[in-house]
Amino acid sequence: MKITLLILSLIFVFSANSGEFHSEDTFGANPGNLLMKTYTPTNPQKKAPLVVLLHGCMQSAEEYATSSGWIKLADKYGFYLLLPSQVTGNNSMRCFSWYENSDITRDKGEIFSIHNMIMKIKSTHPVDQNSIFVTGLSAGASMAGSLLAIYPETFKAGALIAGLPHGCARTQYDAFQCMFGFRTRSPKAWKEQILKDYPYSGRRPRVSIWQGESDRAVKPLNAYELVEQWTAIFGIDQEADKIETISGHQHYFYQDKNGKSLVEMFMISGAHHGQPVSPGNAPTDCGSTGQYFIDANICASFHIGKFFKIVK
């Protein structure tokens, strides 16, 4: 009897100090055939930010949220996580289809499914509609970039880790050409690609770009192409206004005339393809190592949270 009570007490303590994953069966039109999952933090804010997390290939939504460190941050700061999940019926490696025209066109395919998930969580949770963000890794980062381009009014900011410029690919063959750095364009051409796909003259979400210096899957050249695309969208130049070093990694700032950083880039020294994490107990530490989670002595999620202004 005492052992049973002890086990029940431990379960209660664990539940009281841990948030919860949920699956949502219905969220409106789902032309992309994706799954919707959410994470509710331990003590959500009364008017909480929302971070949309897009996992990489061969990952699950829960794995990405946990190993990247976002679960720890969500529990500490009280914001919600939306976890769109790819299925093998769409892609055998569970990659988001960032390279398919039908999946990155406004109100069509996977991108529309993700948009409808956001609308659903906004209607069922106390989400601050002015504090919605998106980030992802690799294929997830590329889809995140397309969300920023095609639904700019939805997001306050976004972060792309080992991602590709929006519109770089329209077929699977194009995708490999982009990943290996064979598709380069001028800043003007990258900007025109976004405006062609969704003409928009309103406020644009700020963008954080992360890239491993030794990435062989998504060549580092793509990070500079992303800088060109998003600085051009903001009408600022492609020369960094400030550069600093954090834990041995270069951090570039691209600012407007008032000194506000609209685009930033982290080039992670010596890193291959994956999410930079920093396991440990320091305030800036988060994440755990594993396949496509790289101990780089810097936790991307923490610094992205600071860029979003939802983490301190």
Amino acid (one-letter) located at 262: L
| Mean pLDDT calculated for residue range 279-301 | 97
Supply the pLDDT for residue 279: 97
Q: Taken in order 309, 273, 22, 9, is the CA torsion positive or negative?
A: negative
Tell me the angle at which helices 139-150 and 109-124 cross, rounded to the nearest 10 degrees. Answer: 70
| Mean pLDDT calculated for residue range 119-139 | 98
Model pTM?
0.94
Class of residue 279 by CB neighbours under 10 A (exposed 0-12, middle 13-18, buried 19+): middle
Report whether pLDDT(152) > 60: yes
| Mean pLDDT calculated for residue range 146-170 | 98
Q: What's the count of helices (H) and strands (E) in the chain, helices before strands?
A: 9, 12
Percent of the chain with pLDDT over 70: 95
Tens of pLDDT, residues 61-82 = 999 999 999 999 999 999 999 9
d(CA 82, CA 85): 10
Q: Where are the alpha helices (DSSP H) in the chain?
A: 2-16, 61-67, 70-77, 109-124, 139-150, 172-179, 187-197, 221-234, 300-308
Report whether pLDDT(5) > 60: no
- Cα-Cα-Cα-Cα torsion 166, 168, 172, 173, nearest 10 degrees, comes to -170
Tens of pLDDT, residues 218-275 = 999 999 999 999 999 999 999 999 999 999 999 999 999 999 999 999 999 999 999 9
Angle at 160 between CA 162 and CA 62, to 5 degrees: 90
Total number of residues shown for the chain: 312
Which domains, from first to last, does the chain contain? Answer: 19-308 (3.40.50.1820)
- Provide the mean pLDDT of the chain: 94
Supply the pLDDT for residue 232: 98
Active site (annotated) includes residue 138: yes
Q: State the catalytic residue, choosing from 138, 146, 208, 278.
A: 138
Supply the pLDDT for residue 70: 98
